[in-house]
Chain A
Amino acid sequence: MGSSSSNLNTIPNSQELMQETGFSAAHLLRLYERFEFLDKDNKGHLRPEDFEAVQELSTNPIGDIIIGSFFSPGQETVDFPSFVRILAHFRPAEKNRTRDGAQPEPANSSTGKLKFAFQLYDRDRDGKISREELLQVLRAMLEMQVTEEQLESMAERAIQEADLDEDDAISFDEFKKSLEKVNIDHKMSIHFMK
């Protein structure tokens, strides 16, 4: 379509992005529109406040954590390519994607998805989910329903379940191992990004 291709040109590095994330042009356009919509004063990047403006997100118990995952540590803004790269984690994985060894692991592989999930917990990005980090997520998700002691014992148990090297924290490998029976592809894919 003429209009869409002209639109596509307005997106910086659109070809590379499509190549990298596997999104189609239509998807990219739609995301770009959304990006511009979120970017209220056309700064060209999003700040946490822009995300918080999304009404539904404020009711999401782990909304803050997810917003946080869009920003690399120390950075206050996210530009469109990074935005798309994050969202690419949620594209359903293709079965017959040919992967040559040179290419890095695509974001929507199950490892990529897991990495994203792992980072939700691992706020300080030290490669380990500590008890405190787990507690934060738990606290957010269970809201007011249980007492602090219970949260702690739940965190305790969760860590013990996953913790193989007994360092009282969950590393990415342990995290991956503990979830190996879960079908990550199904649980971390969004339909319309297919």
Chain B
Amino acid sequence: MAACGRTRLWLLVSLVLVSPATGREAQFRSNHPDHPGEHEANLTGIPITSFKWEHVETPYLVALWVLVCFLCKLVIEANHHVTEYIPESALLICCGFILGGMIWGADKVQTFTLTPRVFFFYLLPQIILDAGYSMPNKLFFTNLGGILVYAIIGTCWNAASLGLSLWGCHKGGAMGKAYLALRCWRGETRSCSGPWSPSLCPSVPPSIYPSVPLFLRPFVPPFLRPSVSHVLCLRPAGDIEIGLLQYLLFGSLLAAVDPVAVLAVFEQVHVNEVLFIMVFGESLLNDGVTVVLFNVFDAFVTLGGAKINAAEIVKGIISFFVVAFGGSLLGFVFGLLISLLTRCTKKIQIIEPGFIFVLGYLAYLTAEMLSLSAILSITFCGICCQKYMNSNMDESSVQTVKYAIKVFANGSETMIFVFLGISAIDKTIWVWNTGFILLTLLFIMVYRIMGVFFLTWILNRTRLVPIEFIDQIIMSYGGLRGAVAYGLAVMLDETKIKEKNLMISTTLIVVYFTVIFQGVTLKPLVQWLKVKRASHSELTLIEKLQNRAFEHTLVAIEDISGQIGHNYMRDKWNKFEEKYMSWFLMKPSARKKQDRLFNAFHQLNLKDAMNYVDEGERRGSLEFIRNEGAFIDFKKKFDDEMSEAMPDIMADMSDDHGRAPPKRRDTVPSVSLELHEQSMRGNRAAEDFNSHHLLQQHLYKGRKQHRHRYSRSHFDINKDENEVQEIFQRTMKSRLESFKSGKMGVAPPKTITKHTKKEQQSKMLNGKNRSYLSGDEDFEFSEGDSASGYDASFPTRVAYRAGDGIENPAFMPDVDPSSTMHIPPWLADVELDSVAPSQRAQVRLPWTPGDLRRLSSLRTSVRSSDSFQLTDDRQGDRDELPPPPPPPPRRDGDSV
């Protein structure tokens, strides 16, 4: 099989990559890397080159590991038929097993494990930041009550019940024998504390080996078989030494549902959004509880049972509130800071996307420093800043943040799972106690189910929309444990907790069981139970409109009936937010246009336009334009499409009064930034890239093709007026040529042509056309100026797709110089004061949708195109004109 071969090849490659590195790492560990000059002193001459491994060792290894992990993911994702059934996280763990085996084989010791420091400081923050940043805020806050109940009460319940039950079983004698493999180096007299004694160490005792049934022993990989180089202590049969408090500590570290694991598994199973946000929100917010429980019990274990009194317990409870709310508040403050900073980054756009990463990380570290909940801090930081940041920053920066944050989050998620796998292949941590492990697994499942059902029962009494029975099952089953639990387990203090290794092993088993087994079975379960899936997210305009109307209605009814309900509160908050927070945190220009409904409208139009163009391409260019009958199922929104599909023509006439068009904000409002919608957003991204590609292909290539001025702070923009002028003249010429040769029998409206020219020239004179990016093939989307960035790019793109659909080269060249100029009239309105009205009317003519409709109808009725001029008095006869427009590209030609 090809896949098999691929895998083998990859194994070979990674073996080559890993083994020398690990081998050397072990080798260099012994000698000091701190004296690089030492051996150079022996040299007599100047070395031409030298091999300085220790010089680069750590960063080199880190980079190699990142690479290896990414390659793992690459290989896994290449096998679609596998990932369909087994979640990626499970496969990554298995990859980790293999890698770990190789390392073990090479080193006879696990050189690389997931250390808590690496995990909590370098891998976790970006995942949580991503979760916060792309959190569907409205959904989250609507369900916040439920989420908090699960996160706080549920987690406490999990911890307490698990700890107590294990302790009970322990007392009842269910734990049985523990096979412990404590490795002592040969000749070392290890002072095994407690019941350990060196005398008990047999010469070559097996570790887990004896517990493996005889018939399975040949299958045990050699690296797990007892090695002669080690002397191992085998713990005699007897009770494991864990007290009640230690059990509770263990319970608290295993109590929390893990955000990384949940996200990884649920991302692939598209359950309905309420269910998703419940599980995911719980996994994020329970961190506060986990941290507190862990710290409190850790302290209790240190104190010892006798010293615990009511005061300490009260302190523990208080510390919960401080940790949780303090962490959230800190995150909130940092979020505000990010919003404020992005408000004034107009001059440093190139690094503006960096703020969220740096400040988010600082929020995390600060919380860690103050021993508050770091996860809560960075979550709320992301949640709080997303809206303001997205509207303050330039659109290209927003895209940068979106992609970069995903790259980081996905990358470290990959690494976490791989390292979770690698960490397992380490004989030193494995302590097998069948009773303990099985009981833990059982209790985790059972208590999770009990907790979820009980809490849901309480919640459903007050919830407007009760959580369904099936959803509860999935919620219980989705209680995945992950790397956070493992990280906490590793952080346990061995001197205080004798059975640390047993706890680590059990935690690992629990993690593997939940991530692999439950992860694999979750999808079939969801299908089998017919859990409600994520609802369609592509609302139509009328749905959006109606949703808005519903919201207002509910608020009004609450007002009328004099009750303070959720809607009332939300309305108050929205008003407050709009009035003060937006004012404080948003750029004035960004604040002006932030109507969601309108943005939705615009977005729908853009999408239609894209569909339209795609369809046009599929049907084959000119045929598509010429043949009126070749029309397609466009959900009859022709006129809207038209305005979007043809910015190229429009753009000619659109005005450029040296004004940057007002910023178009992120078209996806925060609400719909759902994690589920990754795929949808993926599509959008794909569209972006697509069109970008098209643009690159078809952009007019000026004579000085690659005038690539490297600048660290600005993407290069072609500002040379002469060149622009030349482009313009050439394109106009070619346009006219092509027009003469092949347009569909409609006389060219000369007025328009003239007008266009005039416009163009006046534009030239204006001199402020900073957005002539067309000449620069590489950076069409990335001008340096924030204000014009998005507007420019969007219509340009659409224009290009339109052009492409037509496949008439004559139309291409001039599209972008002008289209970047284009300002949708509604956006431009505010800024046009300096322009004489008549000119303004002319200039804007085809862009107002109303006019478009009119124009289109004119086209259908094949009236004289001179009636273009009617557009000046826009208010006139709009209503009497029927809406059905012809295929937009036709008008392309007309306007020439």
Tell me the chain A residues, 169-185 only, with Cβ under 8 Å from chain B: 178-179, 181-182
Q: Say whether B746 faces chain A, with CB atoms less than 8 Å apart.
A: no
How many angstroms from the CA of A43 to the CA of B571 in the assembled complex? 31
A61 to B549, CA, bound (A): 10
CA distance A59 to B536 in the complex (A): 32
Interface string of B799-829 (1 = CB under 8 A from A): 0000000000000000000000000011001
Tell yes or no: A16 within 8 A of B by CB. no
- Are A189 and B464 within 8 A (Cβ)? yes
Task: Check B595 against A142 for contact (C-beta < 8 Å).
Answer: yes
By beta carbon, the residue of chain B nearest A54 is B559
Of all A-B residue pairs in the complex, the 10 with the closest CB atoms, nearest first, are A153-B849, A66-B556, A34-B562, A145-B595, A187-B550, A56-B559, A158-B542, A149-B850, A149-B848, A147-B826
Q: List the A side residues contacting B639 at CB < 8 Å.
A: 153, 156
- Asked if A60 and B604 sit within 8 Å, CB to CB, the answer is no
B883 at the interface (CB under 8 A from A): yes
User: With A142-B595, A160-B636 as given contacts, are A149 and B553 in contact (CB-CB < 8 Å)?
Assistant: no
22 residue pairs from A and B, CB less than 8 Å apart: A54-B560, A56-B571, A62-B552, A70-B560, A87-B557, A87-B561, A120-B549, A141-B549, A141-B597, A150-B849, A153-B643, A154-B598, A156-B640, A157-B541, A157-B640, A161-B542, A161-B635, A178-B542, A186-B464, A187-B547, A187-B554, A191-B464
Q: How far, in whole Å, are A186 and B464 apart by their CA atoms in the complex?
A: 7
- Considering only CB atoms, which chain A residue lies closest to B824 in the complex? A150
> Any chain A CB within 8 A of the CB of B209?
no
* Cα of A188 to Cα of B556 in the assembled complex, Å: 12
> Is residue B396 within 8 Å, beta carbon to beta carbon, of the partner chain?
no
Partner of B557, one of A66, A182, A187: A66
A153 CB contacts on chain B under 8 angstroms: 601, 639-640, 643, 849-850, 853
B201 to chain A, nearest CB (A): 66
Asked if B825 and A149 make an inter-chain contact with CB atoms under 8 angstroms apart, the answer reads: yes
Bound-state Cα–Cα, A70 to B848, Å: 37
**Residues of B833-892 whose CB lies within 8 A of A:** 848-851, 853, 874, 878, 883
Pair B545/A57 contact, Cβ less than 8 Å? no
Q: Report the nearest A residue to B274, measured CB to CB.
A: A186
Query: Which residues does B use to contact A, with CB under 8 Å?
Result: 462, 464-465, 535-536, 540-543, 545-550, 552-563, 565-568, 571, 575, 593-595, 597-598, 601, 604-605, 635-637, 639-640, 643, 825-826, 829, 848-851, 853, 874, 878, 883
Query: Within 8 Å CB of A157, what residues of B?
Result: 541, 601, 604-605, 637, 640
Contact A179 B598 (CB under 8 A): no
User: What separation, in Å, do the CA atoms of A181 and B563 have in the docked complex?
Assistant: 29
Point out the residues of chain B lying under 8 angstroms from A54, CB to CB.
559-560
Question: Do B559 and A142 touch across chains, with their CB atoms under 8 A apart?
Answer: no
Contact A31 B546 (CB under 8 A): no
Instruction: With CB as the reference atom, state the residue of chain A lying closest to B597.
Output: A142
Nearest-Cβ distance from residue B160 to partner chain A, whole angstroms:
32
User: Given A161-B541, A162-B542, are A154 and B601 also a contact pair (CB < 8 Å)?
Assistant: yes
Please tell me if the beta carbons of A150 and B636 are within 8 angstroms of each other in the complex: no
B560 touches A190 (CB 8 A): no
Across the interface, which residues of A come within 8 angstroms of B554, CB to CB? 90, 187-188, 190
Minimum CB distance partner of A60 in chain B: B556
Q: Which residues of B contact A145 (CB under 8 A)?
A: 593-595, 598
Decide if B849 touches A152 in the complex (CB within 8 Å): yes
| Cβ-based interface call for A138 (8 A) | yes
B550 touches A188 (CB 8 A): yes
- Is there a chain B Cβ closer than 8 Å to A137's Cβ? yes
Q: Across the interface, which residues of B come within 8 angstroms of A154, CB to CB?
A: 541, 545, 597-598, 601
Is the Cβ of B850 less than 8 Å from the Cβ of A152?
A: yes
Structural contact, A179 and B543, CB atoms closer than 8 A: yes
Partner of B546, one of A66, A90, A117: A117
Contact between chains at B560 and A179 (CB < 8 Å): no
A51 at the interface (CB under 8 A from B): yes
Closest chain A residue to B556 by CB distance? A66
The one of B553, B565, B575 that contacts A62, using a Cβ cutoff of 8 Å: B553
Is A194 located at the chain interface by the 8 A CB criterion?
Answer: yes
Cβ-closest chain B residue relative to A178: B542
**A102 interfacial by beta-carbon distance below 8 Å:** no
> In the bound complex, do residue B553 and residue A117 qualify as a contact, i.e. CB atoms below 8 Å apart?
yes
Q: Which residues of B contact A142 (CB under 8 A)?
A: 595, 597-598
User: Which residues from chain A contact B464 at a C-beta distance below 8 Å?
Assistant: 92, 186, 189, 191, 194
Contacts of A90 in B (CB 8 A): 554, 557
Residue of A nearest to B554 (CB): A190
Query: How far, in Å, is B305 (CB) from chain A's closest CB?
Result: 46
A37 touches B556 (CB 8 A): no
Residue of chain B at shortest CB distance from A57: B559
Known: A142-B597, A181-B543, A188-B554. 14 other contacts (CB 8 A): A34-B560, A38-B560, A59-B575, A66-B552, A117-B553, A120-B553, A145-B594, A146-B595, A150-B826, A182-B546, A187-B547, A190-B561, A190-B567, A193-B561
Q: How far is the CA of A141 from the CA of B556 in the complex (A)?
A: 13
Shortest Cβ gap from A49 to chain B (Å): 14
Contact B552 A61 (CB under 8 A): yes
Q: Complex formed: what's the CA distance from A51 to B238 in Å?
A: 78
Task: Tell me the bound Cα distance from A109 to B571 in angstroms.
Answer: 25
When C-beta atoms are compared, the residue in chain A nearest to B465 turns out to be: A186
The residue in B542, B543, B559, B639 that gathers the most chain A C-beta atoms within 10 A of its C-beta is B542
Contact A117 B853 (CB under 8 A): no
> Could you tell me the distance between the alpha carbons of A145 and B593 in the complex, rounded to whole angstroms?
7
Q: Cβ of A190: which chain B residues have Cβ within 8 Å of it?
A: 554, 557-558, 561, 563, 565, 567
Quick check: is A106 within 8 A (CB to CB) of the other chain? no
> What residues on A are CB-neighbors of B546 within 8 Å?
117, 179, 182
> Given A142-B597, A154-B601, are A57 and B542 neighbors across the interface (CB < 8 Å)?
no
Q: Do A158 and B541 have beta carbons less than 8 Å apart?
A: yes
Task: Report whether B883 and A156 are in contact in the complex, using a CB–CB cutoff of 8 Å.
Answer: yes
CB-CB nearest in chain B for A31: B561
Most chain A CB within 10 A, of B541, B545, B548, is at B545
A90 to B878 alpha-carbon distance, docked (Å): 39
Measured CA separation A161–B565 after assembly (Å): 33
Q: Which of chain B's residues have a CB closer than 8 A to the CB of A117?
A: 546, 549-550, 553
